[in-house]
């Protein structure tokens, strides 16, 4: 499953050299209880994008972990704006990763879950039209769906003025989607933090300075209180990318 991006463990138990995918899987793993994991890449000075897209920050090491985290999750959560802006395609995995999932009692592909308060979505976008597993859309009760959306996705209506993320995540878990991976964007990250729903943050720090301008990995209303999120591991890639994992106790 490795794409050739060499990654070593710095802490807590330093490795003598680059580690294989089995070691990375053990480091990131699956939880034995419901969990919401955020995954972001940022520059050293905290930018979430270069030239408007996250791809400019994501090198081979980040992509390697990105792929493993998708393999480990039950569902992939993303905001509608990020889905549109980043041009998400159908969530597919190669045969080796599908085989790993089958061997661990999982469906071959994770379920795509889109959070959209307005249902400004295109049913013809490949993320919906070509999805190997029927996607789920979390939305408000009175949001008007575009023609054809209900044919390619399940609409879960929760909340009046805005999407009720607590109720939405409870419904996902009722459907057996316990291990959730969220890839953003910043507004969704901020809303999930404010609702105290974030259990873990996996952060790749690219060895780049973006300068002023780009947004940061979280935005929106301020949270009522800071939350402890202890560091669990530090990995270092051969291109200088730091891969950090913070998680609740």
Q: What is the mean pLDDT of each run of 10 residues along the chain (249 residues)?
A: 79 97 97 97 91 88 97 98 95 97 98 98 98 98 98 98 97 98 95 96 95 84 86 97 96
- pLDDT, one tens digit per residue, over 1-19 is 555 589 999 999 999 999 9
- pLDDT, one tens digit per residue, over 59-103 is 999 999 999 999 999 999 999 999 999 999 999 999 999 999 999
Beta-carbon contacts of residue 118 (< 8 Å; ≥ 6 apart) = 80, 139, 143
Cross-strand partners of 179? 35
Q: Which long-range contacts (CB under 8 A, 24 or more apart) does 194-199 make?
A: 194/220, 194/221, 194/222, 194/223, 194/224, 195/165, 195/166, 196/227, 197/36, 197/165, 197/166, 197/169, 198/36, 198/38, 198/227, 198/229, 199/31, 199/35, 199/36, 199/37, 199/247, 199/248
DSSP 152-206: HSEEEE--SSS--HHHHHHHHHHTT--EEEE---HHHHHHHHHTT---EEEEEEE
Distance CA 175, CA 34 (A): 12
What is the Cβ-side half-sphere exposure of residue 109, based on CA atoms within 13 angstroms? 15
Query: What is the CATH architecture of 7-247?
Result: 3-Layer(aba) Sandwich (3.40)
Q: Which long-range contacts (CB under 8 A, 24 or more apart) does 23-30 make?
A: 24/64, 24/65, 24/68, 24/235, 25/68, 25/72, 27/233, 27/235, 27/245, 28/65, 28/68, 28/69, 28/72, 28/202, 28/245, 29/72, 30/72, 30/104, 30/179
Distance CA 203, CA 48 (A): 11
Distance CA 204, CA 194 (A): 22
Domain boundaries, the chain: 7-247
pLDDT of residue 4: 57
């Amino acid at each position: 499953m490795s794409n050739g991006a060499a990654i070593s463990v710095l802490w807590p138990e330093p490795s003598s050299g680059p580690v294989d995918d089995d070691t990375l899987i053990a480091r990131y793993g699956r939880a034995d209880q419901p969990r919401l994991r955020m995954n972001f890449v940022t520059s050293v000075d905290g930018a979430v994008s270069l030239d408007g897209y996250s791809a400019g920050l994501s090198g081979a090491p980040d992509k390697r972990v990105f792929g493993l985290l998708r393999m480990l999750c039950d569902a992939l959560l993303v905001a509608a704006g990020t889905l549109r802006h980043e041009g998400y395609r159908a969530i597919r995995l190669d045969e080796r990763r599908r085989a790993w999932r089958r061997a661990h009692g999982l469906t071959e592909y994770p379920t795509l879950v889109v959070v959209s308060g307005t249902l400004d979505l295109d049913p013809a976008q490949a993320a919906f039209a070509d999805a190997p597993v029927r996607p789920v859309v979390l939305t408000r009760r009175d949001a008007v769906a575009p023609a054809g959306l209900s044919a390619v996705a399940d609409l879960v209506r929760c909340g009046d003025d805005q999407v009720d993320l607590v109720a939405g995540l409870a419904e996902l878990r009722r459907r057996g989607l316990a291990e959730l991976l969220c890839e953003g964007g910043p507004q969704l990250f901020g809303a999930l933090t404010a609702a105290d729903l974030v259990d873990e943050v996996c952060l790749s720090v690219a060895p780049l300075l973006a300068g002023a301008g780009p947004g940061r990995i979280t935005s929106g209303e301020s949270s009522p209180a800071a939350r402890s999120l202890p560091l669990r591991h530090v990995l270092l890639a051969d291109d200088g990318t730091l891969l950090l994992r913070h998680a609740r106790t």
